[in-house]
Structure 1
Amino acid sequence: MLIKDKSFYKMLLAIAIPITLQNLINVAVGMADTLMLGQLGEIELSASALSNQLYFIFLIVNFGLGGGTCILVSQYWGKKDIPKIRTIMGIMYKVSIALSIIFTLLALCIPRQIISIFTNDINVINIGEQYLRIVCIGYIFASISNCTVMAFRSVQTVKISIVIYGSSLLVNVFFNWLLIFGNLGAPELGVIGAAIATVIARITEFIISIIFIKFFDTKIKLRWDIFKRADKSLLIDFIKITSPVVVNELIWSVGSATMSVIVGRMGTEVVAANSIANVVNQFMTVFIYALSSSASVIIGNSIGEGAYKKTKDASFTILLSITVLAVISGCLVFISRPFVVDFYNVSAATKSFAMDIMLVNSVIIVFQALANTTNVGMLRAGGDNTFVLINDVIFMWLVALPLGFVSAFVWKLPVIAVFCIIRVDEVLKSTCALIRLLSFKWINNVTRD
């Protein structure tokens, strides 16, 4: 039932507000990149957007790795079993480094082939190839800092993320300004300058993460020995819990990248318009996604404690809150459309496409928020990873993507109709997730004594 205890909401906000600020900072980084590169034109903006599809897949896989780790860490934190948390985080870092090396090699060895998947515009491919070869240097640094932030979030240490990503924002914006446009006597490098600025920002995040772990963390107290710690039973649990999440995020990210192929083949103007709309969508959902992350922590901790009634009440209360916030966000997206497009130095056609895409997003954002909160925020926290995997994948790959290709390239429907079709999976999977959530069959304690 609905929780009325003020302490619950204080705890929820204590976790959600720092995460909101972190998400706002991340959105601000994306907005700064699109605004600055948008001054150069559609080709440069599209080149960076499509080049970053590989990083998007990499980031999502890392999110899956961190998310799977968080399930274990949050429940063990409920039991206050610190030694097991250290062992789990050691496993996480080793996998994270291995994934970083794989994705970096892909970006260095076959950048042109990767970008060619998303567009046949030779100018976009040429610029994107240069961008990708540089920006991939930051992958390993981003991976370690992202996994660190997610793992510490599970033990309710969330403020460090503001420091890490706030510093990253300042560094990124400054070096973008310096190197894209050649200010203060620096060379005018355009898209290459944006790539270098991103790498510098990723290294900054990594350095701050290491400083925090070494000198300021008082809960987990990680040391280099985590790379030597071994526990066969925990490794089995890690693989069992984390693998479905990583596979889920990988398949979802590949599906999302495939949707970018659809968008990319619809023209450079549509790609640029979608980049603008995505920034708005991210900005309007920052607090919602922060509450979703808070839900994951609170529910994971309560399951670890064995407080299952608290788990049920918390899930219902958060679900109701998210629904209200999602409707408000949708209205704000709709209202802000004409004001947003005027910020960009793009063609009239691009502005028109951006208006249409944001119109679709203003409705879909409600279902998107519900799907994320139920699937990622609550069902996963209860260890119901297999259901989330099936629910997330089936509607994207069997409904949205096939119909998206047909609607764009066979039926040749207008842009607004294509975007309605490729986002329909959010409606379907949020409905199934809600049914599963209210059954409460997803509550599982995955810890060991």
Structure 2
Amino acid sequence: MPASAMKPLRVAVLADSDTRWKWGALTANRIAPREVRLDGYLLRGRATPTARQLGEVGVRADSLREVTAVEFLRAMGEESYDILVLALVGGGVQAMLHGLNRAWEDRPGRPVVVTGYVGVVYEKLADGLLLRHGADLVLANSRQDADRFRAVYEGVGAGADAVTEVALPFLGGAPYSGGNNPSAKQGRRPYTVVFAAQPSVPDSRRDRTYLLNRLVEHARRHPGREVLLKLRSKPGEHTTHLEELPYQKLVQRLDPPANFRLVYGHMGEVLDRTDLLVTVSSTAALESLHRRIPTVVLTDLGIREALGNHHFVGSGCLASWDQLDAGHLPRPDGEWVARQGVATGTTPSGAGTYETAFDTARERIGDLLARPGGLPPLSPYYTPVTAPGYLPGILARHHLGPDGTPLPGAPAADREPGPVRQIVRRAARGAYRHGVQRVAPVIRRMGEL
């Protein structure tokens, strides 16, 4: 039977933030061997995306609903899927792997379980990887990551067969061809500099204020340029990481020039009009490099693991604001870019192109789906035997016992919450976000007195 005549694959994605929903949904469509029906599940928590954030992501699903961990596990016990993508933090992945084993123990078959990372892996490599071990596929977004992932798994005696090299699923767009190019809608546009902000890097008021001041000063020095501060979320919203000091509030104390402004929206659309992308360590740098846009990773605050810009050592993209103000434009190293899975076309090393980056994953999933007798139970590295002092706490945070069974009193609703419960939930989230963005910084400053 031709693939076009086959039934769509049923695919579920469980995500805990807007960025992970974007990664999970786009990944699901890229790795599926044929057309899919996509059901989205948003894990209820501090970073559950708002309707605005979901709209900005621009990824559509056939169904989408918010769930607790226990509600999701119940749905997985009742529904039949071909592929399940866990787009969660490491602890969430580990909890779901154990919970799913329990939910599927009396079923004749189960879906192929896939997980991975939404971007650059620059911290907690061993911890995050071992929490993801047990999925059928652990996706690595580059050749470099695939090598590192296998080294960690093999180093602890865990199987590394699940590691599968792919690429970031949201790369694309027209390659950059130079500044001030005519646009069908705008004619000749100004040279545009975009600073891609991050919610938690850097995390101090002093460092964030410094970066903002340098960005504003760059706009003053270059009045003919358009200088944009690209933000991930609006005040009161959360994304993958907490943001205690939103740039929107810091900029209120400044008097930026007319050629400086804040922008939101889809990163790909912002890159469509970008001539220079500047960041500390955002994954946006990889999106920009993929399109051959001049890209700078800042060194002003040092090259440090805490900032994540150490990941770009060897990239050729490291520079400071002083250098940028003087007109310097770094030239990316081709071999380094190729190892990150973001280069298109022929590379010096002969590496494959982005268009074929997901072929291996599709083939592996196809083989697993066709496996006679179905798939064996999931087999995480962490068990009550290998991590008796660590695993129970991870499971308990998702209201699961040491064997993956829901704990008594675990939150689970059989129907959509009523209006009163919805109001209470929104109020609780608002209080939490107020605590993160207003109260916590005050307490921290008081502690430094």
Please tell me the TM-score bracket, short chain as reference.
Answer: under 0.3
TM-score normalised by length of structure 1: 0.24
TM-score, normalised on structure 2? Answer: 0.24
Greater fraction strand: 2
The structure with more radius of gyration: 2
Instruction: Point out the structure with the larger helix share.
Output: 1
| Structure with more contact order per residue of length (Cα contacts < 8 Å, sep ≥ 6) | 1
